[in-house]
Structure 1
C-alpha cells in the first residue's frame, strides 16, 4: 500500500482504499468509521502508535486507512487536526517500515516566508503570541521604572514583533523615555513563522520607528562564532559561551531584561553532548542568572511534550493542539487561506513531535508548572504579575473571541481556551537580586 501526500490542502489518499474492507477490521476500528468524535480519533491514534511500537505493519496500515476516512484539511476541527496527525504518522511509519511499506514519508509542510505585514496579521489572528507579548511588556515596563538605560536580551521565535508596543509605551513614559538597546541571538530555531527579511532589517525598522517617536534606540545581533548556523547541527555550547558580559557588551548603568518567548523548549533537556554536566536548558538558566538581570520573562505553550513515550506524546499533543484548531473555527471559514496557512504551521509542529526522535525532535515543551519548579531549582524567585498587568491582558482578550480567558496561578498567568490551558507567562528574578 502506498500513501501519497500531494499538497497542503489535500487529504491523504491511498492508492487502494478497498485493500482493507470493513469486514477485515477489528471491532474497535470499525466502530470509528465515519465517527468524528475526538475520543474515538484519539483511540485510533493510540492504536496506530501501539502498532508502530510493536512493529505491526498490517495494523498500522489498517488504522491509517480508517484515519484517512475521517481526516480532512477543510472539515471540522477534529477532521483537520486528524489530517495533520495522519501525515505525521505516515512520516513516522516510513522510517519504522522503510521496506515493508511504500510510504512517501517526506515532509509536506510548506515553509512559507512572510512579509512583516503578513507576520503582523499572523500574530494578531488569535492571542497565542499576543498574550505573552502583553503580559511580558507590562511586567518589563513596571520592572524598569526609573531606569534611564535598558538592555533587552531577546530570545524568541517571532522576529521582534513584541517590541513596537513596548517602544511606544516607553516613549510616553511620564519621567521621560529611557535609552533602549535590544540584542538578539544569531541562532533561531528553524520553526514557523518564517520572515522574508533578515534580523538586521528588522532592527533597522525598529530603529526607524523609535527615531520617529524620539526614543534613543540601538539594535544588535549577537554574532555567530561557531562554524555552523544550521539547526540541527547547531552548537549550543557555542551559544552559551557567548552569553557573557564581554560578548554581550553589558554595561553597569543599564537595567538588563531577558525575554524568552516560545524559545526555551528548543534547548535540549538532556546531557548528551553537553560539556556542562547538565542539560543545555539548565545550563542556559545558570548562564543568564550570572548576568544578574532585573527581570526574566518566560512565555511558552502550557503542555508537556518532552516525554520519551511515543503514545504519551500522541495523547498529549492531540488534546493540546485541538485548541488552536477549535479557536480558528470560531471566526474563519473552512476554506480560508489564512486559516490553512496557520494550521500548516501547527502541522509543522505535529510532524516534529510525532514523526521524529532524538536530536531531530526539537519540539520538547514543558508545562508552566514544570518550568516554575525548574526555575526555583536553579535559584530564581517568582515575580507576581500586578493588577495593572492583569488588566492589560484582560483588555487584550476582549478583542478576541469569547472563548479566550485568563487565570492566575501562583507563579504565572495562563491563557485559556474554553477553560483549557494554552499558553503561560511567568516573570522571574535571580534569588538575592538587588537593584
Structure 2
C-alpha cells in the first residue's frame, strides 16, 4: 500500500507509514506532548525530526513524519498550516534527491514564477512594508548624503526592479536649490528570484526617464551588460560584472556624488571561494572590496534580518520557521485565506523556503546573514557606519502608520530595524568609506 503526500503542487509516493512499528523508528518522541494541539512548537519539532531522519538516511521515519505533517499542512489554513505546507514541500524536494530510489517526486519547479506587470509589482511592494521600509530608509539616507550636490550617480543592486526610485526622483525635484542631474546604473544580471517582471531593464529605464522628465530632473539610465554570458548562472554573470565595476567602465566623473544601493542583494553573492576570484576572496567579499575602492559618498545596505547561512539543516529549519512565520502572520491580519494576492506572495516566500531547506552547496543561493553579522562584515571590509537622521526616522514612522498595527521600528546602534510584533524582520544600514569626524 502507498500513501501519496502532497505539498502545494508537489506529490511524493510513500511506502505505508505504519506508526510505532519499532521503537527506534516510531515518531512517538516527535509527537510527545503535541497530541491534540499541533501548534508552532510541535510543528517545528516534527520538521526537525524529519530533517534528522533524512540526514541519517532513515527513509521509513522520514516518510512517517511527512505523513503527519501532510495532515497538518494546508495552503489555505491558518498561519502555521500554510507555513507548514511550504516546509513540507521543501522537505519532499530534498528527500527526492537524498533518497531517489525510495521516493518518487513529482513537483514543478517553484522557480517558474509568473511575470508581473509594473502595476502588479507596485501592488506587490505595497502589500506589506517588507520592501517599502528599505526604500524609505535608503532614499532618505541618499537624499541627505547628496545635499548640495549638482550631479548624482547611483549604482543600484536590487531585486525590486528600480521600484524605489520614483520616490527619490520626486524628492530631488522638490529641493529648494533645484534637482541634481541623476544617473542610475544597474547590472544586467539578477538572481532568478521573485518578484519577476514582464518588461526589460531598458523598458524600466525608459519609464523612469519619462517620470524624471515630468518632474524636471535631468536623468540618464544605463545597464551594464555582458551579452556573451546572458545564459549563464547568476554567480557566473556577476563574477564577470565585477571586472566592469571600475571607474573607467562605469564612466565615473569627478564632479558626481557616487551612491551604492544594495537592496536584498548581498545574500545572493556566494560567501565561498569559487572560480577565478583572485586571492581566495568570496564573491561577496570581492564585491565589497571593489565598491569600497570606488569611494562612494554613501553605501546603503538593506536586507532581511535573520541568519539563514548555517551549514546545519536543523539550524536552518529552526531559524527559517521562526523567521518566515512573520510574512505569513502579517498577511493573515488583513487578507482572506483564499486571496490570490496572498497566495502569490506566500508562494514567493515558499520559493525561499525550498531553496534554504531543499538545497546545499552552490545550489543554495539564499545565504542570508543577520544585520549584526552584516555590520561586522562591512566593518571588516573597512566601511564606517553612518547614523540615520531624525528625518529618516520620522519618514519610517509615517510609512508604518499606513500599515497594520503589528509593524514597528527600532534602532540598534546605527541600524534601523523593521519589526513585526516585536520580531526583527528587515534591517537598514548606511556606510561611508572614511570615518566621520566628531
Among 66, 77, 80, which residue is 1:78 paired with?
80
Change in Cα spacing, 1:161 to 1:271, as seen in structure 2 (3 Å) is same
- Alignment: residue pair count: 430
Q: Deviations over 1:200-228 (max 9, x none)?
A: 00000000001111111110001116534
Q: Are the counterparts in 2 of residues 109 and 347 from structure 1 also a CA contact under 8 Å?
A: no
Shift of 1:237: 2.6
Shift of 1:110: 4.8
Counterpart position of 1:420: 423
> Which consecutive residues of structure 2, in runs of 5 or more, have no partner in the other structure?
none
Q: Deviations over 1:28-58 (max 9, x none)?
A: 3444456331110110010011111111101
**Distance across 2 between alignment mates of 1:219 and 1:143:** 21
Q: Are the counterparts in 1 of residues 152 and 183 from structure 2 also a CA contact under 8 Å?
A: yes
Counterpart position of 2:119: 117
Q: Secondary structure, in 3 states, of the residue corresponding to 1:176?
A: coil
Among 317, 333, 337, which residue is 1:334 paired with?
337
Counterpart position of 2:242: 240
Taking the TM superposition and a 5 Å limit, the aligned residue runs for 1:384-399 are 384-399=387-402
Shift of 1:23: 5.0
Change in Cα spacing, 1:215 to 1:147, as seen in structure 2 (3 Å) is same
Taking the TM superposition and a 5 Å limit, the aligned residue runs for 1:151-166 are 151-166=153-168
Counterpart position of 1:27: 28
Q: Are the counterparts in 2 of residues 186 and 222 from structure 1 also a CA contact under 8 Å?
A: yes
- CA RMSD of the aligned region, Å? 1.9
**Distance across 2 between alignment mates of 1:406 and 1:433:** 25
Q: Secondary structure, in 3 states, of the residue corresponding to 1:405?
A: strand
Q: Are the counterparts in 2 of residues 13 and 68 from structure 1 also a CA contact under 8 Å?
A: no
> Which consecutive residues of structure 1, in runs of 5 or more, have no partner in the other structure?
none
Query: Runs of at least 4 residues of structure 1 off by over 6 A?
Result: none
Change in Cα spacing, 1:6 to 1:68, as seen in structure 2 (3 Å) is closer
**Distance across 2 between alignment mates of 1:206 and 1:415:** 28
Among 91, 102, 105, which residue is 1:103 paired with?
105
Q: Secondary structure, in 3 states, of the residue corresponding to 2:205?
A: helix
Q: Are the counterparts in 1 of residues 259 and 298 from structure 2 also a CA contact under 8 Å?
A: yes
**Distance across 2 between alignment mates of 1:165 and 1:274:** 39
**Distance across 2 between alignment mates of 1:233 and 1:385:** 32
Change in Cα spacing, 1:326 to 1:6, as seen in structure 2 (3 Å) is closer
**Distance across 2 between alignment mates of 1:140 and 1:30:** 52
Q: Secondary structure, in 3 states, of the residue corresponding to 2:105?
A: coil
Counterpart position of 1:409: 412
Taking the TM superposition and a 5 Å limit, the aligned residue runs for 1:32-431 are 32=34, 35-104=37-106, 106-108=108-110, 110-224=112-226, 226-232=228-234, 234-276=236-278, 277-431=280-434
**Distance across 2 between alignment mates of 1:346 and 1:282:** 27
**Distance across 1 between alignment mates of 2:19 and 2:362:** 39
Q: Secondary structure, in 3 states, of the residue corresponding to 1:245?
A: coil
Shift of 1:280: 1.0
**Distance across 2 between alignment mates of 1:212 and 1:313:** 47
Shift of 1:229: 4.1
**Distance across 1 between alignment mates of 2:128 and 2:134:** 12
**Distance across 2 between alignment mates of 1:229 and 1:221:** 17
Q: Are the counterparts in 1 of residues 27 and 65 from structure 2 also a CA contact under 8 Å?
A: no
Structure 1 length-normalised TM: 0.95
Change in Cα spacing, 1:373 to 1:226, as seen in structure 2 (3 Å) is farther
Q: Are the counterparts in 1 of residues 8 and 86 from structure 2 also a CA contact under 8 Å?
A: no
Q: Are the counterparts in 1 of residues 111 and 193 from structure 2 also a CA contact under 8 Å?
A: no
Shift of 1:273: 2.5
Change in Cα spacing, 1:343 to 1:75, as seen in structure 2 (3 Å) is same
Q: Deviations over 1:306-356 (max 9, x none)?
A: 111111111111110000000000000000000000000000000101111
